[in-house]
Amino acid sequence: MTATDTTAQEAAPTQVVARRVTDVFQPRNVLLVGMLAIGLATAGDWTGLPWGLLGALCAGIVPAGYIEWERGRGKWGDRHVVDRTKRAPIFFVILGSIGTGSLVMVLGGAPAGILAAMLALWVMTVGLLTVNTVWKISVDAAVASSVVALLAAAHAPWWLLAYGMTIAVCWSRVALGYHTTAQTVAGASLGAATATAFLFV
Asked whether 178 and 84 are in contact (CB, 8 A), the reply is: no
Q: What is the pLDDT of residue 198?
A: 66
> Block means of pLDDT (10 residues each) for the chain, length 201 residues?
47 88 96 95 92 97 93 78 88 97 96 92 97 96 96 88 97 96 98 81 55
Q: What is the pLDDT of residue 1?
A: 45
Q: What is the pLDDT of residue 78?
A: 75
Q: What is the pLDDT of residue 3?
A: 45
Cα–Cα distance for residue pair 38/48, rounded to 1 Å: 8
SS3 of residue 141 by DSSP: helix
Extract the runs of DSSP E, i.e. beta strands, from 91-191: none
Cα–Cα distance for residue pair 89/174, rounded to 1 Å: 24
- Indicate the pTM of the whole model: 0.90
Cα–Cα distance for residue pair 108/102, rounded to 1 Å: 10
Cα–Cα distance for residue pair 82/163, rounded to 1 Å: 24
